[in-house]
Amino acid sequence: MSDPRPIRVLVAKPGLDGHDRGAKVVAAALRDAGMEVIYTGLHQTPEMIATAAVQEDADVVGLSILSGAHMTLFPRVLQLLREQGRDDVLLTGGGIIPEEDMERLHAQGVGKLFGPGTPTSDLVRYIQEWFAQRQRQEA
């Protein structure tokens, strides 16, 4: 059973990191895969990201973090989404994140995280599989 609407993905660059090429490449790949992509732009606060995700009724929030602040930013966005009743949103992302930090974030409820050089097809497949599983659970 396929969903009558595309998967809605909010791509965000939290914090002061000004490097957005990767986020734009990911946004384009997701769009090319048929997803509806909302790109929030640079220098977003966790509050801005969570509010946008709720307003846009996003299924997925993808954070691109190269600043080293991933252990603060991912948990904060996750907390804000939960506080707004959106614990059904997949929080995923990528950047320069050590494997042990990826594991700690996953244990807190963050989805799979992707490092530099990951093929965009891996991220597309991950989101599609997650969404299909969620749809089966809701059926």
pLDDT tens, position by position, 32-74: 999 999 999 999 999 999 999 999 999 999 999 999 999 999 9
Q: Can you read off the two tokens belonging to residue 13? A: 């660059």
pTM of the model: 0.95
**Where does 8-138 sit in CATH, by number?**
3.40.50.280
Segments making up each domain of the chain, as ranges: 8-138
Residues 36, 3 contacting (CB under 8 angstroms) = no
pLDDT tens digits, one per residue of 64-114 = 999 999 999 999 999 999 999 999 999 999 999 999 999 999 999 999 999
Interior/surface letters 10-29, b for 16+ CB within 10 angstroms, e for the rest:
bbbbbbebeebebbeebbeb
Helices (H) and strands (E) in the chain, counts: 5, 5
**DSSP strand pairing (113-114 vs 90-95):** parallel
Length of the chain: 139
